[in-house]
Structure 1
Amino acid sequence: MPDLIVPPTYAPIPSAIHPRHAAIDAQTAIWAEEFAIGSTELRGRLVQQDIGTFAARILPEGREEVVSLLADFVLWLFGVDDGWCEESALGHRPGELSGDLHRLLRVAQNPEAPLLLGDPLAEGLRDLRRRIDRYGTAGQAARWVDTLREYFFSVVWEASHRADGSVPTLGDYTLMRLYDGATTVVLPMLEMGHGYELHPSERDHTAVRAATEMASFIITWDNDIFSHHKESRGPGYYLNAIRVLEHEYALSQDQALTAAIAQRDRVMRRFLRLREELDAQASPQLRQYLVSLGHFIRGSQDWGITSLRYTTPDDPANLPSVFSDTATDYGDDPLDIPAISWWWELPSIGGIPHGSSLPTAVPTAAALRTA
């Protein structure tokens, strides 16, 4: 398969990183060994992929203990995604996978339940849940479990396509990618990292939900672009936006890459405009949340072109070393994808109700610094 050359992608959001990123990354490697996440071979790969640094880019001014929690959780997610879904026979058996994931979900809901005792992923999940209870609210813990359910549901859907060797439509793939990229599971930790809880009247406001979904789209499309080399070189089935676009529109790989970049650029521009509109009338907590969405987007970009997970030095990927200040697409029409076209058709934002929220905590990190 010919190599794709990924050009510098549009990155209008400044880069930032937590000053304790090296210590957080080292602690995550220790946590992975303590709970024996994944096989020895998989764990050896994961601890070299700068996952702690990724979390430090998502929460550059967050509380260090929550950044560490996020890093451990992301590594745990890769233990599930790589170890169960992509690199084992279980990932080709959606029914069996669903049962195993529901048992894990029960552990997340009720860590005291006598299920999967001694199982490394379950014991790691119990530790994560205890720390979520320590640093978050009951509502944030409940939302974390709900988003974990969304993620599990979506990877079972992906397993059904893996079992059949089929490629979904662009519409279906886009909808499920909002969840199987595990971006929504991170969202409660954006609040925890700064010691506040958004009121439902803000978090569930249609425009705020649209901005959140746009961030998920950009992050997952970027991931598909940066991970295509790694995934397409694998021995088995892979599912990726570039492959879906090839299939949907009978495109070459290069044409599909160009189309994917244009799609994410159009959504990025829509996200920036909407975030500016929301910021003008947002509470301090919502402003912080919108800033954190931006860090999540840019942190994913920075990590995507530097982590050994995607650069694959033994078989180097043609990834950019810099980003671009210029978008490739300046269209303002909705993307022709029914599940997300409503992002361009929002009613007037009007006043966003400000419910009572937990006060923003003083971050333990030093002032944000550029990477």
Structure 2
Amino acid sequence: MTTVPALQLAPFYCPIAPARHPLADLFDQTTNEWLRRFGLYEDESQRERLEHVGAGRLAALTSPFGTREATQISSDIGMWLFAFDDAHCDEGRLGHDPGELSRVLIRLLRILEAPEPPLSPDSPYHSFEAAFLDLRLRLGRVATPVQLGRWTDAMRMYFFSQVWEAANRVERVTPDLDTYALLRIHNGAMKVSVMMLDIAEGYELPPAELERPDVRALTEATCLLAGWDNDILSYRKEHVRDGDNQNLLDVLAHAAGKPVQGMVSEGMFLRDQIMVLFTALSAQVRRNASPELQRYVTSLGHWVRANLEWGTTCERYLNPEDPAYLPTTWAPAPMSGSDAPVGLPAISWWWEQLES
């Protein structure tokens, strides 16, 4: 049995104030009922683990001012992603079989594109397909066609990145940091979640504003920041259950030829660099933003804070079976020098969006 190192994590820097939807407990309860209705688990142990993940609480922190129906859908989408990830990606057989995984994912994508045809009852993944169809139909009732298309595109990139990650596992590839930054923008389904933000609050961010280079940079920075924060917080959970070296700390350790314990500070410095950029770019975008874009930037901040609030307290990362010890306080300032750009080709253009 592989020994997983106990990591000493310093408090995270996050200058964004927390907020929470008053229906958080209801979202959790309803999502757990939805999980049981579709049977998105293999045994009772997995069901109990998923029911303690707090998908409803995460949705409540992410969209504190969302409508009840759309925020509930966000919560259920989160649960589907957690369940699918555990059953078939990170810890499941498909996560080590990119060919079969791609065949499963194309069927799921077809549900998004055309939810009208009936599902095959003989599919071994019928429960996940049926739950996915339910999400797609409900989303179609609250989202505009533009929003639904953006969400589908984000899901397509998430699925594509899962095949990429599965190929890395099979070939025992630990990517370099630049490659991993590109992968991590998509493989945590963060963009899938971000594309729910205006849907949850009942408005549509105009495409011309979402596609501005500075707004695209801010959106991607949100995704990578949350992904790297999750990498650090979930390290013990991932490696106790199925370590695959697709993690920021593993990537840094592999490149440096050092133990993971010695790379935590570097990982925290990298995430602080993204956090500092996020803060500066958010303020800049707000100076020339429509009311809808103002709300979107605020929601991105909610996601960053929500991810940390949830991640430092959820059983998924605390991993009660073999506990991780996560920080319970917040750093008052970023690490010294973290106002410098991250020198990676995949993301260096983000800093170029900052005005002099």
TM-score (norm 1): 0.91
- Note if contact 1:85-1:155 (Cα within 8 Å) is conserved in structure 2: yes
Following the alignment from structure 1 to structure 2, what is the Cα–Cα distance between the partners of residues 52 and 66? 12
- Note if contact 1:224-1:241 (Cα within 8 Å) is conserved in structure 2: yes
Change (3 A) 1:311 1:101: same
| SS at structure 2 position matched to 1:281 | coil
How far the C-alpha of 1:235 sits from its partner, in A, is: 4.3
- Note if contact 1:16-1:295 (Cα within 8 Å) is conserved in structure 2: yes
Structure 2 residue aligned with 1:39, among 42, 46, 53? Answer: 42
How far the C-alpha of 1:236 sits from its partner, in A, is: 4.8
| SS at structure 1 position matched to 2:237 | helix
Following the alignment from structure 2 to structure 1, what is the Cα–Cα distance between the partners of residues 13 and 258? 22
Which residue of 1 is the match for residue 206 of structure 2?
A: 199
Residue by residue over 1:135-170, the C-alpha shift from the partner in whole angstroms, topping out at 9 and shown as x without a partner, is 110111111111111000001000001112221111
Which residue of 1 is the match for residue 23 of structure 2?
A: 20
Following the alignment from structure 1 to structure 2, what is the Cα–Cα distance between the partners of residues 13 and 274? 14
Letter in 1 for 2:63: L
Following the alignment from structure 2 to structure 1, what is the Cα–Cα distance between the partners of residues 232 and 311? 9
| SS at structure 1 position matched to 2:16 | coil
| SS at structure 1 position matched to 2:330 | coil
Q: Segments of 4+ in structure 1 off by > 4 A?
A: none
How far the C-alpha of 1:208 sits from its partner, in A, is: 0.3
- Note if contact 1:231-1:238 (Cα within 8 Å) is conserved in structure 2: no
- Note if contact 1:62-1:194 (Cα within 8 Å) is conserved in structure 2: yes
Following the alignment from structure 2 to structure 1, what is the Cα–Cα distance between the partners of residues 336 and 275? 10
Which blocks of at least 5 consecutive residues in structure 1 are unaligned? 350-371
Residue 10 of structure 2 corresponds to residue 7 of structure 1: yes
Following the alignment from structure 2 to structure 1, what is the Cα–Cα distance between the partners of residues 58 and 286? 26
- Note if contact 2:284-2:354 (Cα within 8 Å) is conserved in structure 1: no
| SS at structure 2 position matched to 1:196 | coil
Following the alignment from structure 1 to structure 2, what is the Cα–Cα distance between the partners of residues 6 and 92? 30
Structure 2 residue aligned with 1:108, among 104, 108, 112? Answer: 112
- Note if contact 1:243-1:253 (Cα within 8 Å) is conserved in structure 2: yes
How far the C-alpha of 1:238 sits from its partner, in A, is: 4.2
| SS at structure 1 position matched to 2:10 | coil
Which residue of 2 is the match for residue 248 of structure 1?
A: 255
Which residue of 1 is the match for residue 93 of structure 2?
A: 89
Which residue of 1 is the match for residue 151 of structure 2?
A: 144
Q: Tell which deviates more after alignment, 311-320 or 119-128.
A: 311-320
Residue 237 of structure 2 corresponds to residue 230 of structure 1: yes
Letter in 2 for 1:126: L
Residue by residue over 1:26-75, the C-alpha shift from the partner in whole angstroms, topping out at 9 and shown as x without a partner, is 00000101111132332321111111101100001111111110010011
Structure 1 residue aligned with 2:282, among 252, 275, 288? Answer: 275
Residue 324 of structure 2 corresponds to residue 309 of structure 1: no
| 1:1-371 map, 5 Å | 1-40=4-43, 41-117=45-121, 119-346=126-353, 348=355
- Note if contact 1:106-1:113 (Cα within 8 Å) is conserved in structure 2: no
How far the C-alpha of 1:217 sits from its partner, in A, is: 1.2
Change (3 A) 1:281 1:235: closer
Following the alignment from structure 1 to structure 2, what is the Cα–Cα distance between the partners of residues 235 and 306? 21
How high is the sequence identity, in percent, across the aligned residues? 39
- Note if contact 1:103-1:115 (Cα within 8 Å) is conserved in structure 2: no
User: How large is the Cα RMSD of the aligned pairs?
Assistant: 1.5
Q: Tell which deviates more after alignment, 79-88 or 55-64.
A: 79-88
Following the alignment from structure 1 to structure 2, what is the Cα–Cα distance between the partners of residues 281 and 166? 43
How far the C-alpha of 1:7 sits from its partner, in A, is: 1.2
